[in-house]
Structure 1
Amino acid sequence: MSNTTLHPRPPFKFYLGSHNPAWLETADVPLCVSHARLAGRRSLPRARHGWLLDSGGFNELALHGGWRQSAREYAAAVRRYHDEVGLMRAAAPQDWMCEWEVLRKTGKSLRQHIELTVANFVELRSLAPDLPIFPVVQGWTYPSYFECIRLFERAGVDLSKEPLVGVGSICRRPRLLLPTQLLAELARAGYRVHAFGFKKAGLKIVHKDIVSADSLAWSYGGRYEPGCEGSHKRENNCLRHALWWRQDLLNHIAEAQRTAQ
């Protein structure tokens, strides 16, 4: 792996996950919105702020055992979002998550998921080199992530030159040791890392090493929180609650920065 990068690492950016595409028009913070929430809409919102497109891959693979859209169809959808929604900063490819429940559903091996992840990015880059689709490193064990990196290198993709490199299959782990060490090592190698769905406790550790992250954890927790101001029963779809959760996360990170100084 290269230890240099053509892109200086900017301050950490957090993309707030959203089930509701309409928030793109109203929320004045960076959002992460899934392709599954935008696909098939006749009209699309106009973004108020820069945002990140998630492919919705975990649910796609866990529910259907594979991608139902071809790379060409997905690239066309990304182009539509890029042009009609506007302000798209980055778009995830159709990567293949490596959690065991996903592997059981697809019936494929960990190695096959890694190979398919690399192949899809290479195809998308060929189909739409002008779109901000970024590579994602997938794996489950420590060696498998680095095997994915080697496959990217063999395919002619220099990850150290990419403006953003995602790391997947890290959000549902019971322990933080492997993902925090992995993210820090990739940052030392010069990669501008995006951590998909990483836990708040993990972000307090690795925020200084990564470029960005996203999370919908506020919504999962909000299922058990009573709704604010009596306007709804629960907080899992509440923008006000989501923004409070986001600010609390950023406050925890700021405190971690002060403590480290």
Structure 2
Amino acid sequence: MRFYLTTHKRHWVRLTGVPLFLKSAHFVEAVKLPQALGRYAVDSGGFSELQQHGRWTRTPRQYINDLYRIWEGVGPFDWAAPQDWMCEPLIIRGGQAGPLVFAGTHLSVAEHQRRTVANYLGLRSMAPELPIIPVLQGWEMADYERCVALYERAGIDLTREPTVGLGSVCRRQSTREGAAIVTALAAHGLRLHGFGFKTLGLARVGHLMASADSLAWSSHARRRPAMDGHTHKNCANCIDYALGWRTRVLAALPSWQQPLLDAA
């Protein structure tokens, strides 16, 4: 399993060879793009788009143009997520969770799935040379099975894809329900990427996935004083803390799982 460290600091790509995961928007804002030292993957930023607006504000063509600029300026990425539609109840119905206010799409899970598959097909048609991955969306196990069937009907054999994203699971990754979804989809022979996985989720189902990413290090650091010798209030934006956290997370995984990890 390859473990991507999620960050909003785009310049980190030139500071470390550890695999990184960044939103496309963080590169779009840059006048000059940093060149990547190591591997990285690109997130479309779908959660923020739907949480804030209840819809996508960038067109597929704009997103493709963003990806081309990133590919040429930063360097080839492992893969990029499509403009998928998450299926968490708050994303669909709207509401508030802590400081986050959700606009709500007020669409059905089935419609979110239809739009997710249609967007992937459209992006692949516009830029067949870019490694844009299919993503499975749903909420109940039956939803994910239906999403697999949607791809099949569109002529996409997910078992032949190098990476298949698994959406709308990150907030329940360590639960029995989340583990059952990962287990069932992995049994299809899919090389899954787990979006936003944390320590408990990795320990439970990490061995069933091809890759995962996490931003959990930042919230951990925000609750603690800065590292010795650091002048900032906390290390929520600190690469030293992030890399140390990553090392500790990988070391804490079950010993039988660790040989599968890409710790470079």
Fold-level similarity (TM above 0.5) = yes
Q: Does 1:44 align with 2:33?
A: yes
Report the equivalent of 1:134. 133
- What is the TM-score when the length of structure 2 is the normalising length? 0.90
List alignment gaps of at least 5 residues for structure 2: 94-103, 259-264
Deviations 1:141-176 (A, max 9, x none): 111111111111111111011110000111112852
Provide the rounded CA distance (Å) in 2 between the counterparts of 1:32 and 1:102. Answer: 22
Provide the rounded CA distance (Å) in 1 between the counterparts of 2:35 and 2:167. Answer: 28
User: How many Å apart are 1:58 and its aligned residue?
Assistant: 0.4
Matched ranges for 1:48-67 at <5 A: 48-67=37-56
Deviations 1:178-234 (A, max 9, x none): 222222222221111100012211111212211000010111222111112242101
Matched ranges for 1:54-203 at <5 A: 54-104=43-93, 105-173=104-172, 176-203=175-202
Query: Does the 8 Å CA contact 2:174/2:200 hold for their aligned counterparts?
Result: no
Report the equivalent of 2:98. none
Deviations 1:4-34 (A, max 9, x none): xxxxxxxx11000011000011022000011
Query: Does the 8 Å CA contact 1:49/1:87 hold for their aligned counterparts?
Result: no
Question: Secondary structure, in 3 states, of the residue corresponding to 2:255?
Answer: helix
Moved over 6 A (4+): none
Query: Does the 8 Å CA contact 1:14/1:30 hold for their aligned counterparts?
Result: yes
List alignment gaps of at least 5 residues for structure 1: 1-11
Which amino acid letter does the alignment assign opposite residue 30 of structure 1?
Answer: P
Query: Does the 8 Å CA contact 2:14/2:35 hold for their aligned counterparts?
Result: yes
Question: Secondary structure, in 3 states, of the residue corresponding to 1:225?
Answer: coil
Provide the rounded CA distance (Å) in 2 between the counterparts of 1:55 and 1:243. Answer: 23
Query: Does the 8 Å CA contact 2:174/2:204 hold for their aligned counterparts?
Result: no
Report the equivalent of 2:233. 233
Q: Cα gap change, 1:227/1:99 in structure 2, threshold over 3 Å: closer, same or farther?
A: same
Provide the rounded CA distance (Å) in 2 between the counterparts of 1:208 and 1:192. Answer: 11
Report the equivalent of 2:262. none
- What is the TM-score when the length of structure 1 is the normalising length? 0.91
Question: Secondary structure, in 3 states, of the residue corresponding to 1:255?
Answer: coil
Report the equivalent of 2:205. 206
Question: Secondary structure, in 3 states, of the residue corresponding to 1:207?
Answer: helix
User: How many Å apart are 1:254 and its aligned residue?
Assistant: 4.7
Report the equivalent of 2:101. none
Matched ranges for 1:215-254 at <5 A: 215-228=214-227, 229-254=229-254
Which amino acid letter does the alignment assign opposite residue 82 of structure 1?
Answer: W
Query: Does the 8 Å CA contact 1:204/1:256 hold for their aligned counterparts?
Result: no
Question: Secondary structure, in 3 states, of the residue corresponding to 1:16?
Answer: strand
Question: Secondary structure, in 3 states, of the residue corresponding to 1:246?
Answer: helix
Provide the rounded CA distance (Å) in 1 between the counterparts of 2:28 and 2:89. Answer: 27
Provide the rounded CA distance (Å) in 1 between the counterparts of 2:131 and 2:173. Answer: 32
Question: Secondary structure, in 3 states, of the residue corresponding to 1:208?
Answer: helix
Which amino acid letter does the alignment assign opposite residue 244 of structure 2?
Answer: W
Report the equivalent of 1:4. none
User: How many Å apart are 1:40 and its aligned residue?
Assistant: 3.1
Which amino acid letter does the alignment assign opposite residue 100 of structure 1?
Answer: P
| 126-135 vs 104-113, which moves further | 104-113
Q: Cα gap change, 1:99/1:81 in structure 2, threshold over 3 Å: closer, same or farther?
A: same
Query: Does the 8 Å CA contact 2:167/2:194 hold for their aligned counterparts?
Result: yes
Question: Secondary structure, in 3 states, of the residue corresponding to 1:89?
Answer: coil
Question: Secondary structure, in 3 states, of the residue corresponding to 2:193?
Answer: strand
Provide the rounded CA distance (Å) in 2 between the counterparts of 1:193 and 1:257. Answer: 16
Percent identity, aligned pairs only, is: 43
Report the equivalent of 2:255. 255
| 238-247 vs 223-232, which moves further | 223-232
Query: Does the 8 Å CA contact 1:22/1:45 hold for their aligned counterparts?
Result: yes
